[in-house]
């Protein structure tokens, strides 16, 4: 049996959803200034509500206070000059890890608001305001943290096992850019830290 989160996260669902919203927005009077101001207010309200929901989720994670230890090796990151930083050992708890992941989402939300604002004000695109007003809630409720702390899904295996695997829209992340949890990688990282 298919789970709701699996159906909603499927690329085909996203495509059909986007095309349906696009057809609906074609029938709306998007050039009407009063309608446009309503859409702007709706967009900003939805974004602020989503940010508030993320902070509520942080409160929920802190209240649960899962202090289970989590150790993994963070992959090397490419710097602005093309060089790669060292892999580093991360020792944290499930609570701290989940809070950090939610804060990343909040930061991405503000980046998204700036991008949509630029597209709207500079190029007069209106449809992204409508689409993102809806998508922000889909993104929140299908996020890994929401699936764990709201929907109560299992974290023992699969995509919800911490540390989370890095995701991209097309799934083109090589294995060496994923967090490593095997004992050999952790020991190598510990030796490298002691050698410094």
| Residue 3 buriedness (CB in 10 A; 0-12 / 13-18 / 19+) | exposed
Give the bridge partners for 69, in sequence order: 93
Q: Using the CB atoms, write b or e for 113-146: b if 16+ within 10 Å.
A: beebbeebeeeeebbbbbbbbebbeebbbbbbbb
Cα–Cα distance measured from residue 95 to residue 118, given in angstroms and rounded to the nearest whole number = 35
Residue 83: both structure tokens together:
């060089």
CA atoms of 120 and 129, how far apart (whole Å): 8
C-alpha 129, offset from chain centre: 19
Judge contact between 94 and 186, C-beta under 8 A: no
Reading the chain (196 residues) residue by residue, the pLDDT tens digits are 456 667 777 788 888 888 888 888 888 887 788 888 999 999 999 999 999 999 999 999 999 999 999 999 988 877 778 787 788 899 999 999 999 999 999 999 999 999 999 999 999 888 889 889 988 998 999 899 999 999 888 898 888 999 998 776 555 555 557 888 888 888 888 888 777 6
Confidence at residue 174, expressed as pLDDT on a 0 to 100 scale: 56
């Amino acid at each position: 049996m298919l789970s709701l989160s699996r159906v909603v996260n499927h690329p085909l669902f996203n495509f059909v959803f986007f095309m349906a919203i696009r057809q609906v927005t074609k029938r709306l009077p998007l050039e009407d200034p009063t309608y446009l101001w309503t859409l702007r207010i709706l967009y900003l309200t939805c974004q602020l509500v989503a940010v508030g929901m993320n902070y509520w989720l942080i409160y929920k994670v802190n209240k649960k206070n899962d202090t289970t230890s989590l150790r993994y090796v963070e992959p090397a990151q490419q710097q602005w000059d093309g060089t790669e930083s060292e892999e580093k050992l991360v020792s944290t708890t499930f609570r701290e890890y989940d809070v950090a992941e939610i804060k990343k989402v909040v930061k991405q939300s503000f980046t998204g608001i700036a991008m949509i604002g630029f597209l709207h004000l500079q190029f007069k695109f209106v449809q992204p305001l409508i689409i993102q007003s809806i998508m922000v809630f889909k993104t929140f409720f299908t996020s890994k943290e929401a699936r764990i702390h709201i929907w109560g899904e299992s974290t023992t295996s699969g995509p919800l096992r911490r540390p989370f695997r890095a995701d991209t829209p097309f799934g083109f992340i090589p294995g060496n850019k994923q967090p490593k949890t095997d004992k050999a990688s952790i020991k190598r990282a510990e030796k490298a830290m002691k050698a410094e």
